[in-house]
Amino acid sequence: MTVSLPRTAALGALATLAALTLSACGAAPDTASTTADGKNAATATSAADFGGMDKLVAAAKKEGTLNAIALPRDWANYGALIDGFQKKYGIKISVENPDGSSQDEINAVTSRKGQNRAPDVLDLGSSFAISAAQQGLLAPYKVASYGDLPTGQKDPQARWYNDYGGYISIGCDAKRVKTCPTTFADLLKPQYKGQVALNGNPTKSGSAFGGVYAAALANGGSFDDIQPGLDFFAKLKKNGNYTPVESTPATVEKGETPISIDWDYLNAGYADEFKSKGVDWKVTVPSDGQFSQYYSQAVNKDAPHPAAARLWQEYLYSAEGQNLWLKGYARPALMTAMDKAGTLDKTAAAKLPEVTGTPKFPTEAQQDKAKTVLGQGWAKAVSG
């Protein structure tokens, strides 16, 4: 849930991370919402359990609030999604810690269990969604379009499923950098001294994690071997090109991170955002290290607003919600199904950064292995 946000999707179980210092105050959640057959809304596994969408909407409106976390408005067009949901249903969305990480999201769930201010919904890096499910933190819920999601992009128990994704890309301020790099090999050139940034720490950030994975693929590694990615950043650090400043829209605008390794939808969004500010932001998906990944949606098993949480999922996986992500340059999980159904915004799709080939994704076991290697070696690779 770093990159504009550090939407740092974290390496949950493997990194020794301090839990957020959160007060124990907060009322217990209101569990008044019930399904059509009288069950608590927190046990609903589909809209049918409410008696249909109309009754789900009614239950969610009764709750009146949705607690979200780590959703920056300029991340994959989340501002438009939040506004659209609030306007459509009259349910207020409260977004806490918009620049937080996926690990921050998980920490908030575990530390605020039973509190009314706990997150209702989560948007996690895929590896963190898997970790949260393994910890028993997520509620099974199948949105109406669950069956159209690709098999490899959803949990069989519907505790999480992919929502949107993209490719690791290289963003570059063409007014500050004479010749913008287009490959990982380029980044090692001496003219980029002190200019190359990630948007977070890869032991906590999904986008930074993807950046290291992409670097591994560009340097003889594989989904089974991320070590060449660590070696690449160690070399980048040694020759002075790597900067520890985490890239955000603010650091880009100030010129502190003129070259940023980040998801293509975020870098492409920067390009639009910065035109009016005189920044010529170029975006390239490196041919030598194509790495694609998705974020995943999930409902907190102990959500204080369980009906609103489920309605939010239905909205995000509707054609309206999926196309809003697409307008933010993110590739929605239902893109192929929507294209076949004729509901895809083809104008928005045509603006996506160009890539070649069919994306492939590491398995859960491969991600776990990569997280272990990163957790043990990242600090050493970029220290000093």
Q: Token pair 């690990």 is at which residue?
A: 103
pLDDT tens digits along 229-260: 999 999 999 999 999 999 988 999 899 999 99
User: 302 with 156, same domain?
Assistant: yes
| pLDDT value at 12 more than 50 | no
262 three-state secondary structure? strand
End-to-end CA distance of the chain: 29
CB 169 within 8 A of CB 331: no
- Based on the domain organization, do 117 and 196 belong to the same domain? no
Render pLDDT for 182-217 as a digit per residue (tens, 0 to 9): 999 999 999 999 999 999 999 888 889 999 999 999
Euclidean distance between CA atoms 110 and 308, whole angstroms:
20
Please write the tens of the pLDDT for every residue from 33-85. Answer: 776 667 789 999 999 999 999 999 999 999 999 999 999 998 899 999 999 99
Contact 155/318 with Cβ under 8 angstroms? no
Q: Residue 85 has which token pair?
A: 């949901």
Whether 154 shows a pLDDT value over 70: the answer reads yes
Token pair belonging to 360: 């492939």
> Residue 6 falls within a domain, yes or no?
no
Q: Are residues 186 and 250 in the same domain?
A: yes
In a domain, 302, yes or no: yes
Residues 188, 206, 82, 107, Cα dihedral to 10°: -140
pLDDT at 26 over 70: no
Q: Are residues 371 and 264 in the same domain?
A: yes
Q: Is the pLDDT higher at 1 or at 139?
A: 139
Are the C-beta atoms of 263 and 79 separated by less than 8 Å? no
Number of structural domains in the chain:
2
Locate 210 and state its tokens: 């993807």
pLDDT digit string, tens, across residues 291-304: 998 999 999 999 99
What is the domain range of residue 149?
Answer: 12-164+294-349
Q: Is residue 3 part of a domain?
A: no
Predicted local confidence at residue 384, as pLDDT: 64
Instruction: Examine the domain organization and report whether 330 and 371 are in the same domain.
Output: no
Mean pLDDT of the chain: 89
In a domain, 338, yes or no: yes
Amino acid at 157: Q
Looking at residue 21, what is its pLDDT? 30
Residues 178, 235 within the same domain = yes
Q: How far apart (Å, rounded) are the C-alpha atoms in residues 234 and 343? A: 45
Same domain, yes or no: 240 and 367: yes
Give domain status of residue 211, yes or no. yes
pLDDT of residue 18: 30
User: Could you tell me if 305 and 377 lie in one domain?
Assistant: no
DSSP state of 50: G
CATH number reported for the structural domain that contains residue 367 in this entry: 3.40.190.10
Predicted pLDDT at 36: 63
- In this structure, how many other beta carbons lie within 10 angstroms of the beta carbon of residue 234? 18
Amino acid letter at 379? A
One domain, residues 139 and 287: no
Q: Is 170 helix (H, G, I), strand (E, B) or coil?
A: strand
296 sits in which H/E element: strand 292-299
For 264-290, how does the pLDDT look when each residue is reduced to its tens digit (9 = 90+)? 998 998 888 888 888 999 999 999 999
| Per-residue exposure over 4-13, b if at least 16 CB sit within 10 Å of its own CB, e if not | bbbbbbbbbb
The SS3 assignment for 62 reads helix
User: Which pTM does this prediction carry?
Assistant: 0.79
Amino acid 11: pLDDT: 36
Whether residue 260 sits in one domain with residue 364: yes
pLDDT of 32 higher than 80: no
Q: Would you say residue 40 lies in a domain?
A: yes
For residue 99, what pLDDT band results from cuts at 50, 70 and 90?
confident
Q: What percentage of the chain has pLDDT greater than the value 70? A: 91
Q: Are residues 335 and 378 in the same domain?
A: no
Same structural domain, 136 and 206:
no
Sign of CA dihedral 8, 233, 357, 266: positive
**Does residue 354 sit within a domain?**
no
Residue 5 placed within a domain:
no
